[in-house]
Amino acid sequence: MAGSVSRRGFLGSAAAASVVGTVTVAPGRAWADAVPPNRIRLSVNGKAYEIDADPTVTLLDALRERFGLTGTKKGCDRGQCGACTVHVDGRRVVSCLTLAIACAGKKVVTIEGIAAGDSLHPVQQAFVDCDGFQCGFCTSGQIMSAVEVVAQGTARSDEEIREAMSGNICRCGDYPNIVDAIKQCRVDQNRGAHS
Amino acid sequence: MKTYDYGSASSIRQALSQDGAYLAGGTTLVDLMKLEVVTPTRVVDINSLPLRGIHCTPLGLRIGALERMADVAVHHEVARRWSMVSTALALSASPQLRNMASIGGNLLQRTRCDYFRDVRMPCNKRKPGSGCPAVNGDNRMHAILGTSAACVATHASDLAVALVALDASIRSQDRHGERLLKLADFYRLPGDTPSVENQLRPGELITEVIVPALDWPQTYVKVRDRTSYEFALASAAVALDVHGGVVRDARIAVGGVGTRPWRLQAVEQALRGKPATEDSYLEAAKLAVVGAQPLAGNGFKVPLVQRTIARALAGAR
């Protein structure tokens, strides 16, 4: 796109967050410390971000509205659709029911953080190869879930994969291709192990 | 969300002194705060407290209240010796929510009644005295057992159903000390005060769940509108002690049909000494619905829960 103003920036929801130089963790403040810190630092995709310590802000809103990381999507905002799935300390969670302030000192990974430079993560590549999406709105959540499912390696049959992915709703109904993408990752994993 | 103070407690004593809503996994609390169904002025994050650990001993199982549902669900020893617990957990919610939600929080989750969750509607559980639109409204998902004129909401936990069948207890603490409560006695019937759901005192914190050993074949069967990620229409946690084709003893509790996890001692009694056949199971299961009060939308649960019990008894392994 020509010019340096993105659509999202133009619409005025540009990130208000500042990226600070080092990854400093603020461990959960003990209540005895009385005055809550008025800034909190979050580690997202290995970078440190700092925001006002508003305890009512969800991780999802912090990512999208404060940090400009809009790859994570807001679907139902009720913990029912999985579009907002991210990893916190290596486990997939729904960021809409996670308080940002409770993530201080934890490692958050979003869809923006799984590729290695220009090389897609194997799960991202598998979704491309298998057409694992149609409209794409649920896809970042699907992929973040699939990364955990592939890493755990316990879901093998179609039925097991569907159960392991049941927290991610796709209203386009692209489930068969999503299952195929996860199976392709498993095949690639096994090839990798033998090569 | 209404604003609140937030702090993280570094010791149990400190948590108990705060007079706040305890935050563990947040899957109930954050959800209901966003809906403004609950509006605490102070939230106490308890995730740093030393309430972890899954301990299996010959006498039983102890689970720290902050253990996550996902971790208990895949624990090998729990799956081997208390399979109805692992199965109930594995069939609960979604993988993301199981990664987040704590065991203690699961037992305290609030009903999924849509009227309770919508602050524009009356609800005796949320706003005592305001009325219950579910009694004459949309009540397909509601209870048929333990209901009152004031409330017909179903208890939503699968885990609690298994734990009630297994005679589990919870350990809790408040500023005055510690106590042990049988989970079956912990949950109250709605009666005239559906807003009071259990015996927990203000500020009291569940610290541990204790499950006695029971080496009988067992299972948890959950019937729902879709295959996964849905609350029960009817569920049954059963354990069955069979010798020479005859039932010596049984433990049975049902979910999705009661205002609290529903133990069925009458069905257990009726099974003792009967042949371990599907006919005996269906016959005994009739006692499950004695006194049931179906509503306009949920009469189907009367036969459904009986068949769910029979299917679970036939499938206990």
Within-domain flag for A149: yes
> Looking at A55, A83, A113, which one is the last position of a domain?
A113
Within-domain flag for A5: no
Same domain? For A186 and A94 the reply is no
Give B75→chain A minimum CA distance, Å. Answer: 14
Count chain A–chain B contacts defined by CB atoms under 8 A. 97
Question: In this complex, do B30 and A97 lie within 8 Å of one another by their Cβ atoms?
Answer: yes
Same domain? For A18 and A93 the reply is yes
CA pair distance B61, B176, nearest whole angstrom: 26
Q: Which residues of B touch A102 (CB under 8 A)?
A: 8, 23, 26, 45, 47
CA pair distance A118, A122, nearest whole angstrom: 12
Same domain? For A109 and A17 the reply is yes
- pLDDT band for position A35 (cuts 50, 70, 90): very low
Same domain? For A141 and A171 the reply is yes
Within-domain flag for A169: yes
Same domain? For A98 and A148 the reply is no
Mean pLDDT check: name the lowest of A14-23, A131-140, B35-44, B257-266: A14-23
User: CATH code at A177?
Assistant: 1.10.150.120
Same domain? For A41 and A126 the reply is no
User: CATH code at A61?
Assistant: 3.10.20.30
pLDDT at A49 > cutoff 80: yes
Question: In this complex, do A99 and B96 lie within 8 Å of one another by their Cβ atoms?
Answer: no
CA pair distance A95, A60, nearest whole angstrom: 5
CA pair distance A93, B68, nearest whole angstrom: 12
β-sheet bridge partners, residue B42: B5
A105 in B contact zone (CB under 8 Å): no
Q: Could you tell me the two tokens for B184?
A: 């079956």
Q: Per residue in B112-163, pLDDT tens?
A: 999 999 999 999 999 999 999 999 999 999 999 999 999 999 999 999 999 9
Closest CA to B149 of B134, B160, B161, B170: B134
Within-domain flag for A2: no
Same domain? For A35 and A102 the reply is yes
Q: What angle do CA B53, B55, B61 make, to 5 degrees?
A: 120
Instruction: Give me the pLDDT at residue B167, please.
Output: 98
Within-domain flag for A86: yes
Between A176 and A15, the more confident residue is: A176
Instruction: Give me the pLDDT at residue A37, please.
Output: 61
Same domain? For A84 and A22 the reply is yes
Q: What angle do CA B59, B61, B63 make, to 5 degrees?
A: 150
Residue of B nearest to A36 (CA): B7
Closest CA to B167 of B153, B178, B180: B180
How many domains does the structure of chain A reveal? 2
Same domain? For A19 and A109 the reply is yes
Same domain? For A108 and A126 the reply is no
The pTM of this model reads: 0.93
Work out the widest C-alpha separation in chain A, in whole angstroms: 57
> Looking at A58, A87, A113, which one is the last position of a domain?
A113
At A94, the amino acid letter reads V
Within-domain flag for A22: yes
pLDDT at B169 > cutoff 90: yes
Same domain? For A178 and A149 the reply is yes
Q: Which residues of B touch A30 (CB under 8 A)?
A: 7-10, 14
Q: Are strands B5-8 and B42-45 parallel, antiparallel or unpaired?
A: parallel
A157 in B contact zone (CB under 8 Å): no
If DSSP states are collapsed to H, E and C, what string results for chain B? CCCCEEEECCCHHHHHCCCCEEECCCCCHHHHHHCCCCCCCEEEECCCCCCCCEEECCCEEEEECCCEHHHHHCCHHHHHHCHHHHHHHHCCCCHHHHHHCEHHHHHCCCCCCCCCCCCCCCCCCCCCCCCCCCCCCCCCCCCCECCCCCCCCCCCCCHHHHHHHCCCEEEEEECCEEEEEEHHHHECCCCCCCCCCECCCCCCEEEEEEEECCCCCEEEEEECCCCCCCCCCEEEEEEEEEECCEEEEEEEEEECCECCCEECHHHHHHHCCCECCHHHHHHHHHHHHCCCCCCCCCCCHHHHHHHHHHHHHHHCC
CA pair distance B151, A191, nearest whole angstrom: 57
pLDDT at A1 > cutoff 90: no
> Looking at A63, A80, A113, which one is the last position of a domain?
A113
Instruction: Give me the pLDDT at residue A34, please.
Output: 44
Closest CA to B251 of B223, B283, B216, B276: B216
Q: Domain limits at A146? A: 122-194
Q: Are strands A39-44 and A107-109 parallel, antiparallel or unpaired?
A: parallel
Within-domain flag for A1: no
Same domain? For A173 and A98 the reply is no
Within-domain flag for A3: no
Q: Per residue in B65-107, pLDDT tens?
A: 999 999 999 999 999 999 999 999 999 999 999 999 999 999 9
CA B316 from chain center: how many Å? 20
- Mean local confidence (pLDDT), B193-212: 97
Element (H, E) at A191: helix A175-194
Q: Per residue in A133-172, pLDDT tens?
A: 999 999 999 999 999 999 999 999 999 999 999 999 999 9
Neighbour tally for B268: CB within 10 Å: 21
Residue of B nearest to A145 (CA): B96
Mutate to test the interface with A, among B96, B97, B112 (most CBs of A within 10 A): B96
pLDDT at A17 > cutoff 50: no
- pLDDT band for position A5 (cuts 50, 70, 90): low
